[in-house]
Amino acid sequence: MSELSGKRAIVTGAASGIGRASALLFARAGARVVAVDIEGTVAATAETITREGGRALAVQCDASTESGVREFVGQCVHEFGGIDVLFANAGIVGHNGRLEEQTPEVWSRVLGMNLVGTFLAVREVLPYMKSQGKGAIVCTASVAGLRANAGPVAYSASKAGVLSLVQTIASELYGSGVRINAVSPGLIETGMTEPLFTAARARGSESKIGQLNPLTRYGNPEEVARAALFLASDASSYINGHNCVVDGGLSSSLPFAPSRRGY
């Protein structure tokens, strides 16, 4: 694999799930990787990359704050001399309860991480990418940002905001040579969705997880990582302001009751 040969990449939320899978895949594709997460276990991601012969730096910080974002961007520039790829992936799901049960504090925390953190990361890398006349930014959105019933309300609103942010920034970057796209996962087995999977397995209904999409299964982090790699690489050089949905076809159709006799 050489899709990112010589590239310098930042991946946030890299301690687990989609972020970890993407950091590993980017490194295997030739990138030097700054792996970022608020959890100290992000060091294990960087250690795995190094053990496999790649180059990586782990940065433990809060990617929803200006100070945290400046820290990991500065570390990438200091260690690797610049930035070619940003995968703004860090996110939280927040409160699963009904709207009337939620507080402004919950919304501030979810939007702060998922939307404001994405904005901060993009803003911070742009001067470096603009100065070199090229760069690829990928932001993790979600099918929950497309339609209802795919996630809690604050989470869904934050991911809809990410999609709008990507489209708006793509237009603002007119003529800069910098591209920005989104990847929208469907139901993926990660730490964020672990309660759902644990409950289904306890009930003996794991086989039903993901049954509403045409592939009739849930996805894994590596499948999203491959989409992110494509958008981060020069293979997608004419794709900009786009949302790549990785959901087994869930968002392509209206709800229906599966039947062996068809419709």
As annotated, the active-site residues are 155
- What is the Cα–Cα distance from 135 to 125, expressed in whole angstroms? 9
Smallest Cα–Cα separation from 56: which of 44, 65, 68? 44
Find all residues with CB under 8 Å of 47, minimum gap 6, and list them. 58
Task: Report which DSSP code applies to 40.
Answer: T
Give 17's contacts (C-beta < 8 A, 6+ positions apart): 188, 190, 191, 192, 221
Tokens standing for residue 244: 């790549």
63 — alpha (psi -120 to 50), left (phi > 0) or beta? Answer: alpha
Strand-pair category, 135-140 with 243-246: unpaired
In angstroms, rounded to a whole number, what is the distance separating the alpha carbons of residues 30 and 53?
10
